[in-house]
Every structure is written in C-alpha cells, then in structure tokens.
Amino acid sequence: MDEEFRDPRLAAIYDALDSDRSDLDVYVAILDELGAERVLDVGCGTGTFALLLAQRGYDVVAVDPAVASIAVARSKPGAGRVCWVDGDAAAACVTDRDVTTMTANVVQHIVDPQHWQATLRAVCAALRPGGYLVFETRDPAARGWERWTREATYRLTSVPGEGNVESWVEVTDFSWPLVSLGWTFVFASDGATLTSASTLRFRERDEVEASSASSAAPWGCPDGPDTLSPDTGLGKDVPCATFVEVSRRAVFAYLGYYNHDRLHSTLNYRTPHETRVSYHQHLAFAA
C-alpha cells in the first residue's frame, strides 16, 4: 500500500494536493440517474466521494484498507452519516447495495489478477439483484505514464497547518502492464522529505472483458432499466461491444448491471466536454 495512504502525515495533506475532484461529477450524475439509494464506495480513501454522496442523502458504506486515510475521513464534518469500514471490499459485509463504486485509480492499484477477481466477486456480492458496479481504469493508449515526470508534475502547494509542500511523481519502473511510480513530498515547515511508492496495473479493454469471462455465466442480453434519460443519462439504445473513452482523464469507464449471475455493462452519458458517448458491453461474473 502507498505511504501516501497509510502515513498519517501524508494522508492528512492528500486532499490539499488533489483538490480538484471534478472527476467525481460523472459518478454523481450516474447515481442520480439510476435513482440509487444505497452505495458501497470501495477504496474510499479520505472519504471525499462518500461524504459528497452522504450530503446528497445516499446511504453510504465506505471501505478502505488504509487506516490513516480512513482516520482522515472519520474526522471530517458529516462523517457520522457514513459507515466507515477498515479493510478490503469483502470487509464491507453488505448485500443490499444499489451501486458499488471504485473511483479514480482504485482499480489500477489492484495489480494481482487473483486479487482483482476476488475484488470483483466481493463487490458483486455486495449488490442487490439488479444493482450496479461503476468503475474506471485508464486507457493505456493514452500513454499517461510518459507525462509522469518531475518536470511535468512538480507542484508547490500551500497546505493549511503544514505550510508549503513541494510534490512530484516520477516513473521508477516500467514492466508492462505494471507501471511503478515514486512520489516525493518536501515539507518547508521542517525540511522533511517523505516518499511514497506505488504500482498501477494498466488493463486493455480485452483484459477487462476476459477477467469477467473467466468466472462468468454465459453471456446474455442486458436487462437493465427502461426509464433512463435518453439525453443525459444511461440508456439501452446502443449497440453491443461498442467502446469509447468517456472522460477527459483518458480512462475507460464501466457501468455494470448486476442481475443474479450476470454483470452487464451499459453506459451512455455526456462527458465534461458535452460530447455524446455510449458504451455497452456485457461483463459477467459469478454470483
């Protein structure tokens, strides 16, 4: 696990260094469109998304194995409206969720294939029949790691309670499909330099599909809701196996419809640039 998630000092400055969370807007739009009420947020980190949902009236269970990050989340205003759980997806122990989410880089931090399959089974077990799994993963074709250099990522941030903090990230190892990164944080207040190492797994679309098929029931036709908005939300009017990029962060986004023994995916909404996109792919996992 990255030090920036488990080190108390780094966890405390995480939000200040990643203050633009407009990437969460599309998740909120999807959940609102689905009419969801109960959400499981896997890899909740410092709780930004979970608290945003709680403020909007959602029943939220948020889980993360990083104790320092969860501690930050629990200290925030409104934290009492969220059920916080230390651990992985299986630790949530819920079976009634309308939607399970894995935002940002959560999916890519799961680098071991067996752990990935176990996570998928756990998040699906948390869903009620007819529930949804929504997650994202970066598009390898964008080659984002080529821009992860000190020169391109260097920032000087004024952090309340800490003063100025310098930060940057660099690629430390490239062993496809794994990309290892090294974060550096320099605190002006006491001259301390802290580092954090992490590894991301990039997945092609074919791998995501194969990971579903490896433990799947026979592929079938989607049986999702019929009352979703044709203009701003999700729909069923898109062809099977169509793939698109759906965000300015060059990621693949998936919305899965879980119905007993199959997890289907259907996505149809507008990006931040208001470009019409549609995605419809069967993703089936054993219950």
Distance CA 121, CA 287 (A): 7
Q: In what order do the strands lie in the sheet with 193-201?
A: 155-159, 163-175, 178-187, 193-201
Six-digit token string for 58: 């959602």
Distance CA 155, CA 148 (A): 13
Distance CA 218, CA 151 (A): 49
* Range list of H helices, 113-227: 113-125, 150-153, 205-213
What is the structure's pLDDT at 208?
A: 75
- Other residues' Cβ atoms within 10 Å of the Cβ of residue 204: 14
* Residue burial 240-276, b: 16+ Cβ < 10 Å; e: rest: eeeebbbbebebbbbbbbbbeebbbbbbbbeeeeeee
Distance CA 222, CA 265 (A): 8
Distance CA 135, CA 131 (A): 14
* 3-class DSSP assignment, residue 100: strand
What is the structure's pLDDT at 25?
A: 86
List Cβ neighbours of 32 (8 Å cut-off, separation of 6 or more). Answer: 56
Six-digit token string for 135: 């997650």
Bridge partners (DSSP) listed for residue 137: 252
Burial class, 8, CB count within 10 angstroms (exposed 0-12 / middle 13-18 / buried 19+): exposed
What is the structure's pLDDT at 255?
A: 52
What is the structure's pLDDT at 23?
A: 84
What is the structure's pLDDT at 81?
A: 98
Q: Helices 205-213 and 113-125: crossing angle, nearest 10°? A: 60
Q: Consecutive 10-residue runs of the chain (287 residues): their mean pLDDT?
A: 82 95 86 91 98 98 97 98 97 92 92 92 85 82 91 97 98 98 98 97 80 40 31 30 29 45 39 35 34
